[in-house]
Amino acid sequence: MSSLEQSYVRGSTSTPLIEDTISHFFDQAAERWADRDALISRHENIRWTYGDLQRQIDAFAAGLLALGLTKGDRVGIWSHNNAEWVVTQFATAKAGLILVNINPAYRRAELVYALNKVGCKVLITMPEFKTSNYIEMLQDVAPELNTCRPGALQAAQLPDLRVVIRLGTDKTPGLYNFSDITALPDASHHEQLRKVASELDPNDAINIQFTSGTTGNPKGATLTHRNVLNNGFFIGEAMKLTDQDRLCIPVPLYHCFGMVLGNLACVTHGSAIVYPAEAFEPEAVLKAVQAEKCTGLHGVPTMFIAELNDPNLGDYDLSSLRTGIMAGSPCPIEVMKRVISEMHMNQVTICYGMTETSPVSFQSSTDEPLEKRVSTVGRIHPHLEVKIVDSDGNIVPPGMPGELCTRGYSVMQGYWGDAEKTHEAIDDEGWMHTGDLATLDSEGYCNIVGRIKDMVIRGGENLYPREIEEYLYRHPAIQDVQVVGVPDKKYGEELCAWIIPTEGAQLSEDDVREFCKGQIAHYKIPRYIRFVREFPMTITGKVQKYLIREAMVSELGLKVDATA
């Protein structure tokens, strides 16, 4: 590869883009690999071939049409990993509906916002998980469920929502069971499904994923068939997936990592999807890899660390592993070395992306030197362009940091119902401005060196302080609040809130945490809370968050990771 003269790279175009819909592409895959394993969900004792999965998808897709849904309607799913999730992913695509991914960590306030922001007509929910009762939370915000018939909800707080579908076999007033939907369609609905699927366009919106912003509430990144189908395909290509591979997916499906880097990378290559458990459990992952002879394994660094530190690691046969993806936060070199030596993942890859770009823009290949796989996020993906620019929009020389901008098939349609925020993110020439500071070296390898946006990465989750601040502002005893990230050995970063209480108010750390509990996701609740009289400010009145961070690092005796 020739040496770069400026920080601009363009991906290979030797393999053409897939100009197809997810539904048609999946049907071809199911025909080609009908008898091969498609899905193994170990916690559900489910083992389906591609033919089996196709029948489940078709039945549920026709059932959604039997409910009266029409092209473009939004269907939310609020669940951890299971067979119903992947069925819903492909069924909504086939029926021309838009799947809305809702984080299982969301609580009442976040759920109401998400459903109303995009106008979900249907919500599919798991009943409970550990200490979280999802049906109870739904009944709190929509008490009308207790007296309505299934499919006829009219809730004051959720005006667009009509249908709630629960997983499991127990019955709940006002809710359908998932199995009820597959029993609804008749021959006419299956014929309607064939007609709808045949008329879909690759550029139709197919998915909305919420991504928090520095301006407060999450934004709904709207993605198309073409966006995610191609990204999943090229991710699988970089991993050298084939129909002989079996990919263990412990990362969440509500996130691009599970849905695109996992499910779609597999389906585009005839590989088997393996879910070890509903949510991440290191022992379940190790058991699944051994029992299913998995050849690939995905995870954020904290997941791999937990697996490596499992006391029984040496008792498992992991020799079938060769590849996978480590992403979500900086990948420590010692962890990478152990993953390769102790977990046999000689061809593990690293990638970088964001929800708004479907998500991957850069990925290392399976045969790159370890040093490159650790110190960079690889090279540009096919059919994409990336430039690194200064504050004036000029492309910088190789090695100089600037904002990473991406252009190509992967860029989202926009933020749902928010033309202003879309225009701020995507310029008139089609460049997605990521807000990330990056460098490109002379060989085209990318390194993420910082964040322009005020973002905290905790265990692979992107957290935006402004969203948390705006929630805390609702507390009557909080006059002002600033949230920052501080280094953490386990999660990479943790949240810290500096709070100025209102005059005369009595407020404790426990009061603040209790105010958050059940309303915002647990990982958004600040670990460190300090009550102060003032914030460090510039002469012009801008809060200097870096000084807050430095003060906490000093007070807590934290070690700053230079790569974070």
> Could you check whether 22-33+41-216 and 229-248+271-451 share the same CATH topology?
yes
Q: Report d(CA 517, CA 519) in Å as an integer.
A: 5
Q: How many CA atoms lie within 13 Å of 477's alpha carbon, on the beta-carbon side?
A: 10
What residues contact residue 347 under an 8 Å CB cut-off, 6+ apart? 239, 240, 322, 323, 366, 367
Report helix, strand and coil shares of the chain as percent, to nearest 5: 35, 25, 40
| Most confident among 61-65, 297-301, 464-468 (mean pLDDT) | 61-65
**pLDDT of 172 above 90:** yes
How crowded is residue 270: how many other Cβ atoms within 10 Å of its Cβ? 20
pLDDT at 529: 98
Cis before 104? omega within 30:
no
For the cut 60, the answer to whether the pLDDT of residue 1 exceeds it is: no
Q: CA torsion angle for 191, 192, 197, 198 (degrees, to 10)?
A: 70
Please state the rounded mean pLDDT for residues 392-401: 95
With a CB cutoff of 8 Å and minimum separation 6, the contacts of 204 are 21, 71, 96, 224, 225
pLDDT of residue 436: 85
Q: Which fold has domain 456-556?
A: GMP Synthetase; Chain A, domain 3 (3.30.300)
Domain ranges of the chain: 22-33+41-216, 229-248+271-451, 456-556
Note whether 293 and 40 are within 8 A (CB).
no
Question: Angle at CA 560, nearest 5°, toward 494 and 279?
Answer: 35
The pLDDT of residue 457 is 85
Instruction: Name the nearest CA neighbour of 98 among 242, 207, 23.
Output: 207
- Cα–Cα distance for residue pair 426/350, rounded to 1 Å: 25
Residue 212 pLDDT: 63
Tokens of 412: 């989202």
Query: Looking at residues 106-129, what average pLDDT do you find?
Result: 96
**In this model, does residue 463 exceed pLDDT 90?**
no
- Phi/psi region, residue 435 (left: phi>0; alpha: psi -120 to 50; beta: rest), is left
20: DSSP letter: S
Q: Is 339 helix (H, G, I), strand (E, B) or coil?
A: helix
Six-digit token pair at 3? 């040496």
Q: Return the structure tokens found at 284.
A: 């379940």
In 3D space, the residue among 417, 532, 452, 529 whose CA is nearest the CA of residue 483 turns out to be 529
Domain at 229-248+271-451, CATH class: alpha beta
- pTM of the predicted structure, to 2 decimals: 0.85
Q: Exposed, middle or buried: residue 178 (CB in 10 Å: 0-12, 13-18, 19+)?
A: buried
Judge contact between 245 and 36, C-beta under 8 A.
no
Distance in angstroms (rounded) separating the CA atoms of residues 308 and 316? 11
Choice between 435 and 53, residue whose per-residue pLDDT is larger: 53
CA 177 from chain center: how many Å? 26
Asked if residues 283 and 49 have their Cβ atoms less than 8 Å apart, the reply is: no
CA distance 360 to 386: 12
- Which residue's entry shows tokens 């904002």? 403
Percent of the chain with pLDDT over 70: 96
Q: How confident is the model at residue 213 (pLDDT cuts 50, 70, 90)?
A: very low
Task: Over range 508-524, report the average pLDDT.
Answer: 96
Average pLDDT value over all residues in the chain? 93
CATH H superfamily, domain 22-33+41-216? ANL, N-terminal domain (3.40.50.12780)
pLDDT at 262: 98
Lowest mean pLDDT among 51-55, 114-118, 453-457: 453-457
pLDDT at position 562: 39
